[in-house]
Amino acid sequence: MDILAERRILSVSQFTMLVRGLLEENFAHVWVSGEVSNLATPSSGHLYFTLKDAGAQLRCVMFRASARASRFRLQDGMGLLVRGRVSIYDQRGEYQLIVEYLEPQGIGALQMAFIQLKERLAKEGLFDEARKRSLPPFPRRVGVVTSATGAALHDILTVLRRRSAGVEVLVCPVKVQGEGAAAEIAAAIADLNRYGQIDVMIVGRGGGSMEDLWAFNEEVVARAIHGSKIPVISAVGHEVDFTIADFVADLRAATPSAAAELVAKSTLEMGMALSALVHRLQISIRQRLERSRSDLRGLSLALKDPLLLVGHMAQRVDDLTGRLERTVQTGMARRAERLESARNRLRILNPLLTVEREREKLAALLSRAELLLHRSLVAGREAAALQSGKLHALSPLATLARGYAVVTIVPDGRAVRDGGTLRPGDRLDIRFSRGRAVARVESADGGGNS
């Protein structure tokens, strides 16, 4: 039997296609639980991650269309329950799970999305109490964002008519659940802000499941409430229901009816408040009148006979006038004395006398300077004559005049003091008292003969 004839040779691609077909046929829909690791979120919108447990790991991919439908964000370390189908990625020859649906283990997907969004918006400061505004005490116009057919609108209008019939209501009907509800709610809030003539706004709906109330947990609604210039009351569901809108709004009401009661003061409440204000005003007026009467009595007791007061004042004026006259006279006398003293000092210190005295001193100094200069010149001439005589006596010219001569060797100019230093043929420069001559040595020795 020919073994080679029985062999069926497959390429890698053919073999991979066969295995992929078997996997996709037998594992069309599987549920797998595990822990997320190596999460990657590229700009394509697809999600790539690994599910692992203590003994193995599984490569997973969730394509963009399925990822957009997820209401929460994946994180490394999160426990997941996923549903998908098994396939093979041909280029790497790896089997992988194509995830179509996922939910957190131990908690629902909506609850996880609620927690994640709440934490993120809290970090951004959307829930800060410092930015929340108080409601106007007597609003004239109220905006309501809710379903036109729901019980919430009926409850709000009923309470407003009963408690404050004069309040105007502007209703912006929107979808409060289902696809597109969050976008409609956010747009209605923006429309009322653009309209501007609204004192306060109620945003809400009646009770329901978490899925029914989910539109009020959407980020677009939270940011619309945060950006509203009009104070917003969130009235979503029943007293036990809390949504993201409740945390962002300026005030949360347990129900739509409670929101209406917060907005509009009842006639009875306003009457009681007015009575209290009137009572406080009456007490304040009585206290003010009593204080005024007491002040008047004190002033009456303190008030004396005006003629007596005028007499005292006139006497005081006379006293002050006398003191003023004496002070002026004393001051004038002192000034006259100081003026006379200044005149005497001025006469003594007359500048003309001082100039004359200084001129005399200058003339005496000039005479002394001329005398000293003459004496100095005479002494200088005598000293110069004496030094000139001494210089003439010591001058070599005087020696030459007595018949002597100065002999130097040409050309270096050395003076000849010893005949032994000369050599026959040397040229000599001989300087006399008058004139000079050049001679040549015939013979020389160091003795006394020339």
Confidence at residue 249, expressed as pLDDT on a 0 to 100 scale: 93
More confident of the two residues 285 and 303 = 285
| Model pTM score | 0.46
Confidence at residue 308, expressed as pLDDT on a 0 to 100 scale: 65
- Burial classification of residue 235, based on how many CB atoms lie within 10 Å of its CB (0-12 exposed, 13-18 middle, 19 or more buried): buried
Work out the number of other CB atoms within 10 angstroms of the CB of residue 431. Answer: 15
329: pLDDT strictly greater than 90:
no
The listed range with the strongest mean pLDDT (49-58, 398-407, 438-447) is 49-58
Q: For residue 448, what pLDDT band results from cuts at 50, 70 and 90?
A: low
Biggest CA-to-CA distance, the chain: 167
CA–CA separation, 244 vs 115, rounded Å? 9
432: pLDDT strictly greater than 90:
no
Helix, strand, or coil (residue 241): coil
Beta strands, E only, 26-160: 30-40, 47-52, 57-62, 79-89, 94-104, 141-146
Q: Which domains does the chain have, with CATH numbers?
A: 12-106 (2.40.50.140), 130-264 (3.40.50.10550), 401-440 (no CATH)
Q: For residue 266, what pLDDT band results from cuts at 50, 70 and 90?
A: very low
Q: For residue 289, what pLDDT band results from cuts at 50, 70 and 90?
A: confident
CB 254 within 8 A of CB 284: no
More confident of the two residues 333 and 445 = 333
What spatial distance separates the first Cα and last Cα of the chain, rounded to whole Å?
Answer: 155
108: pLDDT strictly greater than 70:
no
82: pLDDT strictly greater than 90:
no
> Dihedral angle at the C-alpha atoms of 360, 362, 365, 370, nearest 10 degrees?
-110
The listed range with the strongest mean pLDDT (188-202, 312-326, 351-365) is 188-202
**Pick from 117, 119, 128: nearest CA to 248:** 128
- The helix (H) or strand (E) run that includes residue 192 is helix 181-195
Q: For residue 447, what pLDDT band results from cuts at 50, 70 and 90?
A: low
**Pick from 141, 127, 285, 277: nearest CA to 202:** 141
Average pLDDT over residues 104-125: 77
Confidence at residue 341, expressed as pLDDT on a 0 to 100 scale: 84
54: pLDDT strictly greater than 80:
no
More confident of the two residues 8 and 289 = 289
Average pLDDT over residues 378-383: 85
Confidence at residue 144, expressed as pLDDT on a 0 to 100 scale: 94
More confident of the two residues 435 and 144 = 144
84: pLDDT strictly greater than 80:
yes
Confidence at residue 181, expressed as pLDDT on a 0 to 100 scale: 92
What average pLDDT does the chain have? 82
Average pLDDT over residues 174-185: 91
What percentage of the chain has pLDDT greater than the value 70?
88
69: pLDDT strictly greater than 50:
yes
The listed range with the strongest mean pLDDT (23-37, 179-193, 321-335) is 179-193
160: pLDDT strictly greater than 80:
yes
Q: For residue 390, what pLDDT band results from cuts at 50, 70 and 90?
A: confident
For residue 3, which phi and psi values (nearest 5 degrees)? -65, -40
324: pLDDT strictly greater than 90:
no
Q: Quick one: DSSP state of residue 125?
A: T
201: pLDDT strictly greater than 90:
yes
What percentage of the chain has pLDDT greater than the value 90?
14
| Cis amide prior to 42 (ω within 30 degrees) | no
